[in-house]
Structure 1
Amino acid sequence: MHVAEAGRGQPLLLLHGFPQNWWEWHGVIPHLAEHYRVVAVDQRGFGWTDAPTKGYEARTLVDDIVQLMATLDITRARFLTHDWGAIIGQQLAMDRPDLVEALVVTGAPDVHIRPNARLLGLFPKLWHAFAIAAPGIGPRVQQNEKVVRHLFTAFEPAGGVKEEDIQLYYAAMAQRERALAGSALYRATILPAFMAIIFGAYARRDFAVRTLVLTGAMEPSGTLQGMGHRPGRGGNVTTEILPGEGHFLADHRPELVADRALRFFAQEPDH
């Protein structure tokens, strides 16, 4: 596994989303590194981490982070996550709450949302998820520059992600082994997690880790987050839905993401 590190102090792990890598956080890291030891992770199949042919189910991806923390001698950390990195972060918080001090989720809902009828209006907007997950078709979809550009612009304000960054991510996605990894990830983790959220599979699981959900109103996750929460064992979740913002907050508004995360992490936990 490849990581990029900066700063010193208590550890803060950054988990990127699809179809990105640690570079997603390059505008955020300088602000965070003034306060924490920042470890930006390239997760399995992405960036400069190996892209094996298997291991893209959530259980293995969570274990990747557990083993990485042990290798880096990190016994407990704060987490800033995005998109499918937020799925892994929340799964880790449920499986190993002893490892997670606090969690910030961006570009994804928390796992205890309660969907309503507005959910049906989101499915046509998420066609790319089902295309990418399809065996055979999925890797080719990721190698299509028009589709990649759609991923970075469909739910964004104008000028959301810089052109040079889109090209950097596309160059990585176009590699066959990473296109295969992305398709496997959608089949094994992203779509199953989406369905689990819809049908309440997480509702009976304890989730005590302090969590901030920060999402843009323009993206599907903002719509989902605004639907409210299921009763049960959901954790101490704070929600902020940002008007006029989209999916790639760390790219478009790195100072805002850093500010919200730092303020949240600095709060005293409830007892």
Structure 2
Amino acid sequence: MRDRFIVVNDCRFHVIEAGSRQAEPVLLLHGFPQHAYAWRHLIAPLAGDRHVIAIDLRGCGSTDAPRRGYDTSQRVADVIALLDALKVARADIVGHDWGAWLGFRLALDHPDRVRRLVSVSMVHPWVMQRHLIPHLWRWWVTALFEIPGVGEWVLRRRPEVAGWLLARDAPDRGLWTHQLRTIYSGPAAEPARASAGRRLHTQLVLRDIPRLLLGVDRRRPFTTPTVIIGGDGDALLPPSVLTVPLRLADRVTVRVVPGGHFLLDESPEEVLNLTVQHLR
């Protein structure tokens, strides 16, 4: 694996690459409260015949944490700028959690840049509201991260909250050792990163979740071949929420595997196998 930093949009991004740069590129986008380390089980296997690119998104991991730029439109612009800097015209995208939401927005906004998409633990933008709305109460925990002042305090001073979020629906909570939880929650001890986590959630609750509930993206064409992978015990997004409209059946499939919300850590082999099958 090769680590480097690339500056785009006035932000220095941490980028991990593996495999041949002449191979088909696959871009890995992590969720919250994680960073590129979440892909550790997938990078080496995918790199056998792929150019693997895993990035720490704005405000996460070892990437800079500026005060602005946490809305999804800016995060999309960050990814496109990074692909341009890497001279990648088109890539497969694998995303988890809000990284998967970012993948969907990339497919909608820049369909020419996305060949295939794998979404792990995230609903499609054309989600069926009658399935989603009864489960919105499950997102109560994110309210702790959304409120200015409160979100920063929780992320910085109470890392056990993020640790609990990671482990709460895991079939085997023993997997989530103190060390592993700290790897993910530890960076938020830095004030700028705690602020980044709060700003991300504020933008999501003010813009993206209303957009999802109003079905804004149903008015836009979605053509990217996609597989959605969900955990059978996901406490945030149970399998029933992942159902997509019939008119997407020729482009989008849904697969359910054992695990909770953080499948990259809990069921990496299942995620890897479904990813490899879809990206062939």
State the TM-score, normalizing by the size of structure 2.
0.88
More helix by share: 2
Q: Deviations over 1:111-135 (max 9, x none)?
A: 1111226733441x32221120101
Match status 1:225 vs 2:241: yes
* C-alpha distance in structure 1 between counterparts of 2:33 and 2:127, whole Å: 24
- What is the aligned partner in structure 1 of residue 213 from structure 2? 198
Q: Deviations over 1:217-248 (max 9, x none)?
A: 2112234534x334667871110122x41111
Q: Cα gap change, 1:146/1:54 in structure 2, threshold over 3 Å: closer, same or farther? A: same
The 5-angstrom pairing of residues 1-271 of structure 1 reads 1-8=13-20, 9-116=23-130, 119-123=133-137, 125-143=138-156, 144-158=158-172, 159-189=174-204, 192-219=207-234, 220-223=236-239, 225-226=241-242, 228-230=243-245, 236-242=251-257, 244-266=258-280
Moved >4 Å (runs of 4+): 230-235
More strand by share: 2
Corresponding residue SS for 1:245: coil
Task: Point out the more displaced range, 25-34 or 229-238.
Answer: 229-238
Residue 30 of structure 1: CA displacement?
Answer: 1.1
* C-alpha distance in structure 2 between counterparts of 1:234 and 1:45, whole Å: 36
Q: Cα gap change, 1:106/1:117 in structure 2, threshold over 3 Å: closer, same or farther? A: closer
RMSD, matched Cα: 1.9
Q: Cα gap change, 1:3/1:232 in structure 2, threshold over 3 Å: closer, same or farther? A: same
Task: Point out the more displaced range, 44-53 or 150-159.
Answer: 150-159
Corresponding residue SS for 2:217: coil
Corresponding residue SS for 1:50: coil
Say whether the 8 Å CA contact 1:93–1:100 is kept in structure 2.
yes
Residue 198 of structure 1: CA displacement?
Answer: 2.2
Q: Deviations over 1:173-222 (max 9, x none)?
A: 22111110011001113663233222212111111001110010211223
Residue 146 of structure 1: CA displacement?
Answer: 2.4
Q: Cα gap change, 1:16/1:121 in structure 2, threshold over 3 Å: closer, same or farther? A: closer
* C-alpha distance in structure 2 between counterparts of 1:118 and 1:89, whole Å: 20
* C-alpha distance in structure 1 between counterparts of 2:206 and 2:246, whole Å: 23
Residue 4 of structure 1: CA displacement?
Answer: 0.7
Corresponding residue SS for 2:230: strand
* C-alpha distance in structure 2 between counterparts of 1:95 and 1:118, whole Å: 23
Gaps of 5+ in 1: 267-271
Say whether the 8 Å CA contact 2:145–2:152 is kept in structure 1.
yes
Q: Which amino acid aligns with 2:154?
A: V
Residue 258 of structure 1: CA displacement?
Answer: 1.3
* C-alpha distance in structure 2 between counterparts of 1:190 and 1:84, whole Å: 12
Gaps of 5+ in 2: 1-12
Say whether the 8 Å CA contact 2:163–2:182 is kept in structure 1.
no
